C-alpha cells in the first residue's frame, strides 16, 4: 500500500508543479526508489489512457478513490505487473477488473491498435533509438576496471571488448557487455540489466550512472591533488567521479542547498570511498569567491537545477518544460551561477552542464556568460563526438537517445584566457598591403586561427583605437619611403 500511496502523492505534486519526478522520488526516502520511480514514470506516460478508462467506468464514484491513486492502481492492474498490495485495495481492484479490462479493450478497438504501448502519444512511443543501455562506471577508488570485468565474467557475463561504434551498443543482449568507446572506466550492458541488488553496487565498486552524466567530470579532468568545487553537488555521482579522477587527493568542495539530498549524498560518498570532500549545506551563489578557503580552486563543475527535459522518462512533463516563464526563470538562475563560478580568482576551467534539451538553458546561457566575461573562452570538446552544440557554439557537446544512446544532455567548458601584455593584444599585420588593396589580413596575436573561429562569435572585442593610430602612422611612413 505504501508504494501506491507514495506514487499517488508524487503524481499529484508533479501536476501541481511542486517539483520534478526525479527530485520528488529521490527525496521521498522510499525503501525501493527504483520501483517507485518506475511506477510513477509509467503511470504518467499512460495518464491520458488511464483517465479515459477511469471516467468511462465511473471508478472514482464507485470506489471513492482519489484520481492519482486510482491511476497507479489501474496502471498496475491492466498494464503493469498486477496489483502488488493485499487487503481492501486489491479486493476492490479485482472486483472491477473485468469492467476495466473491457474499457481498455474498447479503446484499443477504437484506435485500431493491438498493443498497450501503441496507445501512447507519438512522443512516448519507444523506438530502437529510445533504448538507452545500462551504463556502469567503475569506481577506481575501490577497484580496477580489470577486476570488475573478471568478476563479472566469473558470474557468467560475456565481455565483448571495447565498442568501436555506436551501433555496437544496439547489439547488446542478455549478459553481454562492452567497454565504452569514449570513457575508459565505463562499461555498457543491455538496457534490461539490473545491478541494484548486485554486490559490486552495494559495495560501492560500481556506480550506476548514465554516460552523459559522466561527461562533466571526465571533461573537467582535475589534476590529482588540486582544489575543485562541485557547485550543485547532490545526489553525488559527479562528486564521486571527480574524487576518483583526483585519486582522493586534494580538496573537493561540494555545495547543495537541499539538506535532505546532501544527507543522502553523504551516505553515497561514504559507500564510494570518497575522503577528499568537504560537504556544505549552502547556496553556491552565497559562497564568497574571495575567501582564503577557495584561493587555490582552479576547477569548478556546475550542474545547476534545470528543467530535466533531457530525461527520457520525464518526457511527460513537456507542458511544464515548455512554459516560457519557467524556462526563463531557470535560465536566469543558471546564468547567475555560471557568472558566479567565474569570479573565483584562480579558477582556470569551469564545466557547465544540464540534463535539458532547451537552448534557453544551454547555448543561450553560455553565450550570455561569455559576453559578460571576456576573460574566458570556450574549449572545443571531444572533436569526434557525434552531436554538437547549436551554432555558433559547436565547441559544446549535446547528447540524445538517437545520436549518443544517452539521456538528453548539454556540456560546455569555459577556460580562462592566458594573460597578455598590452603589446601582445595589438593586432599583428601578417601581410603588408599593396597600393590599391582594400583589406589587409589582421590576426589577434596569441590566438590560432581555429581559436579565433571558435570564440569570435561569442566574444567580439572592440578594435583597439591605439592600434588604428599606429597603422595610420605606418602607412604615412611607407608613402614617404615610396616617394
Catalytic residues: 355
Return binding residues: 232-238, 256, 283, 303
Residue 144 CB contacts under 8 Å (≥ 6 apart), including other chains: 138
Listed residue (229, 299, 234) closest to 262, CA to CA: 234
Report d(CA 394, CA 406) in Å as an integer: 19
Burial call 60-71: b when 16+ CB within 10 Å, e when fewer: eeebebebbbbb
Q: How far lies 93's CA from each of 49, 52, 71, 75, 98, in Å?
A: 17, 17, 11, 11, 10
Q: How far lies 223's CA from each of 188, 215, 233, 289, in Å?
A: 26, 16, 19, 20
Residue 95: CB atoms within 10 Å: 11
Task: Yes or no: say if 409 and 370 are a contact pair by the CB < 8 Å rule.
Answer: no
Report d(CA 157, CA 260) in Å as an integer: 37
C-alpha cell recorded at residue 126:
519507444
Report d(CA 251, CA 78) in Å as an integer: 52
C-alpha cell recorded at residue 281:
549545506
Listed residue (22, 24, 26, 43) closest to 308, CA to CA: 22
Rounded to a whole number of angstroms, the distance between the first and last alpha carbons of the chain is 98
User: How many CA atoms lie within 13 Å of 59's alpha carbon, on the beta-carbon side?
Assistant: 29
Residue 140: CB atoms within 10 Å: 19
Return binding residues for S-adenosyl-L-methionine: 232-238, 256, 283, 303
- Residue 347 gets the label, from left (phi > 0), alpha (psi -120 to 50) or beta, of beta
Listed residue (55, 42, 66) closest to 106, CA to CA: 55
C-alpha cell recorded at residue 299:
576547477
CA 452 to chain CA centroid, nearest Å:
28
Amino acid at each position: 500500500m505504501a508504494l501506491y500511496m507514495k506514487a499517488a502523492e508524487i503524481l499529484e505534486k508533479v501536476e501541481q508543479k511542486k517539483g520534478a519526478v526525479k527530485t520528488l522520488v529521490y527525496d521521498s526516502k522510499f525503501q525501493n526508489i527504483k520501483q517507485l520511480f518506475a511506477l510513477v514514470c509509467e503511470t504518467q506516460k499512460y495518464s491520458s489512457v488511464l483517465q479515459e478508462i477511469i471516467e468511462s467506468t465511473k471508478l472514482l464514484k464507485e470506489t471513492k478513490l482519489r484520481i492519482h491513486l486510482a491511476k497507479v492502481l489501474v496502471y498496475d492492474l491492466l498494464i503493469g505487473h498486477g496489483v502488488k498490495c493485499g487487503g481492501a485495495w486489491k479486493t476492490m481492484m479485482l472486483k472491477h477488473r473485468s469492467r476495466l479490462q473491457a474499457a481498455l479493450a474498447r479503446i484499443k478497438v477504437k484506435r485500431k491498435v493491438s498493443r498497450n504501448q501503441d496507445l501512447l502519444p507519438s512522443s512516448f512511443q519507444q523506438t530502437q533509438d529510445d533504448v538507452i543501455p545500462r551504463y556502469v562506471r567503475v569506481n577506481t577508488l575501490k577497484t580496477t576496471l580489470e577486476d570488475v570485468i573478471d568478476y563479472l565474467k566469473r558470474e557468467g557475463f560475456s565481455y565483448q571488448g571495447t565498442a568501436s561504434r555506436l551501433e555496437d551498443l544496439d547489439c547488446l543482449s542478455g549478459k553481454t557487455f562492452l567497454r565504452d568507446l569514449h570513457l575508459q572506466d565505463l562499461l555498457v550492458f543491455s538496457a534490461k540489466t539490473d545491478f541494484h541488488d548486485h554486490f559490486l553496487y552495494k559495495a560501492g565498486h560500481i556506480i550506476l550512472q548514465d554516460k552523459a552524466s559522466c561527461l562533466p567530470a571526465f571533461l573537467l579532468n582535475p589534476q590529482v591533488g588540486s582544489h575543485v568545487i562541485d557547485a550543485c553537488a547532490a545526489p553525488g555521482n559527479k562528486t564521486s567521479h571527480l574524487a576518483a579522477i583526483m585519486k582522493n587527493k586534494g580538496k573537493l568542495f561540494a555545495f547543495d542547498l537541499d539538506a535532505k539530498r546532501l544527507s543522502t549524498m553523504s551516505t553515497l560518498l561514504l559507500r564510494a570511498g570518497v575522503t577528499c570532500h568537504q560537504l556544505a549545506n549552502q547556496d553556491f551563489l552565497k559562497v564568497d569567491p574571495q575567501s582564503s578557503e577557495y584561493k587555490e580552486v582552479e576547477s569548478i563543475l556546475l550542474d545547476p537545477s534545470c528543467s530535466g527535459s533531457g530525461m527520457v522518462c520525464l518526457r511527460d512533463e513537456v507542458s511544464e518544460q515548455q512554459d516560457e516563464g519557467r524556462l526563463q526563470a531557470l535560465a536566469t538562475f543558471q546564468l547567475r551561477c555560471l557568472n558566479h563560478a567565474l569570479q573565483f580568482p584562480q579558477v582556470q576551467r569551469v564545466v557547465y552542464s544540464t540534463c535539458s534539451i532547451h537552448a534557453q538553458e544551454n547555448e543561450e546561457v553560455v553565450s550570455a556568460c561569455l559576453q559578460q566575461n571576456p576573460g574566458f573562452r570556450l574549449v572545443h570538446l571531444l572533436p569526434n563526438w557525434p552531436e554538437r552544440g547549436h551554432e555558433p557554439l559547436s565547441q559544446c557537446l549535446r547528447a540524445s537517445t538517437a545520436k549518443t544512446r544517452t539521456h538528453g544532455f548539454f556540456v560546455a567548458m569555459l577556460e580562462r584566457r592566458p594573460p597578455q601584455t598590452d603589446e601582445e593584444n595589438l593586432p599583428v599585420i601578417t601581410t603588408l598591403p599593396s597600393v590599391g588593396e582594400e583589406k589587409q589580413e589582421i590576426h589577434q596575436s596569441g590566438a590560432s586561427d581555429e581559436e579565433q573561429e571558435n570564440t569570435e562569435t561569442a566574444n567580439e572585442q572592440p578594435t583597439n583605437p591605439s592600434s588604428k593610430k599606429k597603422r595610420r602612422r605606418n602607412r604615412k611612413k611607407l608613402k614617404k619611403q615610396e616617394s
